[in-house]
Chains A and B, each alone.
Chain A
Amino acid sequence: MAKKIVQLLAAAGATLLLFWALSTSLGPAPPLGPLLNPASGFWASANQPEENETITIPGEALSDSVHVYYDKHRIPHIFARNTTDLYFVQGYITARDRLWQMELQTYAAAGRLSEILGERTLAYDRYQRRIGMGYAAEQALASIMSDPQTATAVKAYAAGVNAWIDQLRSAEYPVEYKILDHAPEKWTPKKTALLLKYMTYTLAGNNGDLRMSNTRAYFGDDFIKKVLDTKTDLMEPTIPASKSWEFDPVQVEQPDSVFTPSVVEHVMPYQPDPANGSNNWAVSGSKTASGHPILANDPHLNMTLPSIWYAVQLHGPHQNVMGVTLPGAPAIIIGFNEQIAWGTTNVGADVWDWYEIQFRDSTLAEYRHDNQWKSTRKRIEEIKIKGQETFVDTVFYTHHGPVVQNFPGEPMRSGIPKYHAMRWIAYEKSNEMKYFLGINRAKNYSDYRQALQHYKNPAQNWVFADSSNIAITVAGKYPAKWNEQGRFIGDGSDPKYDWQNWIPFDQIPFIKNPGRGFVSSANQNPTDDTYPYYLDDEFAPFERGRRINDRLAAMQNITPKDMQQLQLDTYSYHAKTILPTLLNYLQADTLSETGQNAYRELTEWNLKNEGNQIAPSLFAAWWDAFYSALWGDEYGTTDLPLEWPKRDETTQLIKNDSTLQWIDDVNTPQRETLKELVNRSFHGALQNLSEEYGPYGDSWKWGYVNDTDINHVGQIPGLGRSNLFTDGAGESVNAIRGSHGPSWRMVVELGPEIKAWGIYPGGQSGNPGSEYYDNMIDDWAKGELYPLWFMKNQPAKNDSVAYSIILK
């Protein structure tokens, strides 16, 4: 008997042990039982039904039935009889394909990732809270909700998302919920506001004040003037120089003396990515084969799976519009309707400034401003952490904005000074939804301009075309600044350093139907120096913008195919400008065999950044080595975070003066020449390439070196696509650079019958088990754009719809 009891206890113990082991999370891994069991584990997330069906939404949420037709790319075409139903179903349908991504993005925006991922993301969450993302989203939400039209849209969208969530059984959750062991949360309009401010963070979150201040303190004004203020001859501003500014600018008071901020130490060096960007353009009918304008746009963003974009057509009583949406927000973001088309690129204007604050004492309760002690406001941030106690953080707000770091220890982020307050455009009340709803319904140029008045941030070059007009507006809300205001850390106590006023909407740079027959932008300087306001010193290098303008100026009888080809253009204006100089100084006669091969490749190069060529790899490696040899010694003499010269500035400097003082290596007693630098960096480049890619040969081809990975949006291993072989580079129009690049390519031909093409590197489904998760990637890499099926009416019975659903 005793033996049997022992046996039973042993077996029962083993059962319990097994149960415990399979329901417990080991390290970052999820519990295996819930994840692997076939009934409700990841297996059950494998398939998405693709059947014609009629879905009844409980609670009579819809006032009429709504038809959704999926085409062969699984783009939904939504036909609704009223606008509320339209946005409800947009929310429902988007959640059906992209729910986990929608949630992740808003958790990331709000600084709530630790609720899902535990302590490892606490520093990130804390940073998001401290730069005031929650505060910014509250401001945006208040604006959205104060307008009946936008309030209705975001509420209907939220209700649609929630209708999808409510009918989900846990076995049907997207696989990421199972891998990370969490569950969907109710969607709210606040989350849409968070998503929009997350875009502001992504696109208007760059600020160089700290690095510029340190550079001025360390190298002096002279260095800034001679190096960082270098003008590049080839820069063509977004608004052509011929535009005249016939208005009286708003006046602002400039401080009497230049404020010298204290040097900010103990912050890790950080260099912003100067190659972030996008392209858009529109050509007028005088230059096209059809006689009607053509518009093209390819926004360059971090490319992920699922993609940041989700393609949809919205057909309602007041609109028939198609394009890409941001999962989490109603309406089309980039697209076209039956009359117009629009697209965007980022404007890197300086709308994030730092102020040195003088606090009365260590409680931070009061700070000096305008010769008075003013009170700070405290905002308590509670950060929930999975499996741990809630972390409570107190953020102090001045009238400028929050004090991002006021505690000792490691800086929150590189480039964040301590006891400094930040001022950011995202804190302003703004309702970008109003713009998007307006542009979705716009019929002509005046509707476009009308809608743009509501567009505040992140500032964008919104390009426009209808059947006879083209236009571009450097749209956004900009503080009216005195020259170079906010280029350096400002004096937080002097009101003259405050943002005193705003540039009025009609003084914001724009142009309609210019004489050259096209408008374009590629993140370059918005205007030339005659524009009476200071927007920033730092915009993208000239290369992409210049190439687009050169090509468009030369082209006639343009077809949509020509515009697609231009999006794929891999020409390197950078190499065109500097490679002859480099080759000129290279001692070719004494080169090794590899060196001679490389030399020959470069001299015969057609200057195209094509994947199957070796020359782009050689040039990129050579330039990198040359750039570090030129600047690395000077910048290496300090640990302070400094502003580095841009690619096109460096190129211009070298071309202007081959005996530049910075060519000398400050670490050696002798004086180096440009020739020595060029030769040394050439050999260094070959060395670097062989260390990374083996001996000279096919493994050096640019497609391998540029190495495009499209990772999962939550960085979950296995759910991305690695090692794509592509053409393009950061300085080319086709700006594929590692995991960054054309996140959506669109070409629209205007006219009585609108025709459009588009593709993005991903797939409509967010389900990693679906063939539509990544099905467009290969065609995108090849440079193909799909003709988009823009339905005027509901499809007929014999049209090739993949499947359709009816919601009631």
Chain B
Amino acid sequence: MLLALFIAVTAWLLSLFLPWWSVFIPGLIFGGLLGRSGGSSFLWGFVGIAALWLIQTLFFHIGNDGVLTARIADLFSLPAGWLVILITVIMGSLIGGITTLTGYLFRKVITN
């Protein structure tokens, strides 16, 4: 839980001054520092970025009445705007999960 929170807050801070790929960094660091098992590392990394990106996308989505989300859905031939949110959140959570797992496994290798 704490792992997810660290990852989410760090990802948000990094995104303020680094490009989009900065979202790969916190999982690698905190997975290495705080990861307890492969499964839980993946899960908390997954949840951490999912939560962050869900909050951020909903903030923009609600902020402009979903107008732009609907247009982007149209651009990708998707039937509804919430699918764009879903795809974005899944994309972020996969990044969070896999990077955190990688960080954890890295620590396992070097501490061994």
- Listed in ascending order, the chain A residues whose CB lies under 8 Å from chain B are 1, 4-5, 7-8, 11-12, 14-15, 18-19, 22-23, 32-34, 36-47, 170, 175, 179, 716-719, 768-771, 773
Chain B neighbourhood of A718, CB < 8 A: 70-76
In the complex, how many angstroms separate the beta carbon of A717 from the nearest chain B beta carbon?
A: 5
Task: Supply 18 further A-B pairs (C-beta < 8 A) apart from A14-B98, A42-B68.
Answer: A4-B108, A7-B38, A14-B102, A36-B84, A37-B20, A38-B92, A39-B16, A39-B20, A42-B72, A43-B57, A43-B88, A45-B68, A46-B61, A717-B74, A718-B70, A718-B74, A719-B74, A773-B67
Chain A neighbourhood of B91, CB < 8 A: 22, 32-33, 36-37
Q: How far is the CA of A34 from the CA of B57 in the complex (A)?
A: 14
Chain B neighbourhood of A41, CB < 8 A: 20, 88
Chain B neighbourhood of A39, CB < 8 A: 12, 15-16, 20, 23, 56
Chain B neighbourhood of A5, CB < 8 A: 109
Q: How far is the CA of A45 from the CA of B64 in the complex (A)?
A: 10
Dominant SS among interface residues on chain A: helix
Chain B neighbourhood of A44, CB < 8 A: 60
Of B21, B70, B87, which contacts A33 at CB under 8 A? B21
Dominant SS among interface residues on chain B: helix
Chain B neighbourhood of A770, CB < 8 A: 64, 67
B64 touches A18 (CB 8 A): no
A23 touches B21 (CB 8 A): yes
Q: How far is the CA of A679 from the CA of B68 in the complex (A)?
A: 51
Q: How far is the CA of A12 from the CA of B103 in the complex (A)?
A: 9
B105 touches A7 (CB 8 A): yes
Chain B neighbourhood of A14, CB < 8 A: 98, 102
In the complex, how many angstroms separate the beta carbon of B13 from the nearest chain A beta carbon?
A: 11
B79 within 8 A of A: no
Q: How far is the CA of A43 from the CA of B65 in the complex (A)?
A: 12
B20 touches A175 (CB 8 A): no
Q: Given A47-B60, A771-B67, verify A15-B72 contact (CB < 8 Å).
A: no
B5 within 8 A of A: no
B29 within 8 A of A: no
In the complex, how many angstroms separate the beta carbon of B94 from the nearest chain A beta carbon?
A: 6
Interface residue ranges of B54-101 to A (CB < 8 Å): 56-57, 60-61, 63-65, 67-68, 70-77, 84, 87-88, 91-92, 94-95, 98-99, 101
Q: Given A18-B98, A19-B21, A770-B64, verify A8-B106 contact (CB < 8 Å).
A: yes
Of B60, B88, B98, B112, which contacts A46 at CB under 8 A? B60
B6 within 8 A of A: no
B46 within 8 A of A: no
Q: How far is the CA of A607 from the CA of B19 in the complex (A)?
A: 60
Of B12, B15, B38, B88, which contacts A40 at CB under 8 A? B15
Q: How far is the CA of A4 from the CA of B20 in the complex (A)?
A: 30
A46 touches B75 (CB 8 A): no
Nearest opposing residue in chain B for A716, CB measure: B75
In the complex, how many angstroms separate the beta carbon of A133 from the nearest chain B beta carbon?
A: 30
Q: How far is the CA of A7 from the CA of B31 in the complex (A)?
A: 14
Q: 4 nearest interchain CB pairs?
A: A718-B74, A769-B68, A38-B56, A39-B15
Nearest opposing residue in chain B for A19, CB measure: B24
> Can you report 26 A-B residue pairs in the complex whose CB atoms are below 8 A from each other?
A4-B109, A8-B102, A8-B109, A11-B98, A11-B105, A15-B28, A18-B95, A18-B98, A19-B21, A36-B84, A37-B88, A37-B92, A38-B92, A43-B68, A43-B88, A44-B60, A46-B67, A47-B60, A47-B63, A179-B75, A718-B70, A718-B73, A768-B68, A768-B71, A769-B67, A769-B71
Q: How far is the CA of A19 from the CA of B102 in the complex (A)?
A: 13
Of A8, A18, A719, which contacts B105 at CB under 8 A? A8
A8 touches B108 (CB 8 A): yes
Q: How far is the CA of A14 from the CA of B75 in the complex (A)?
A: 28
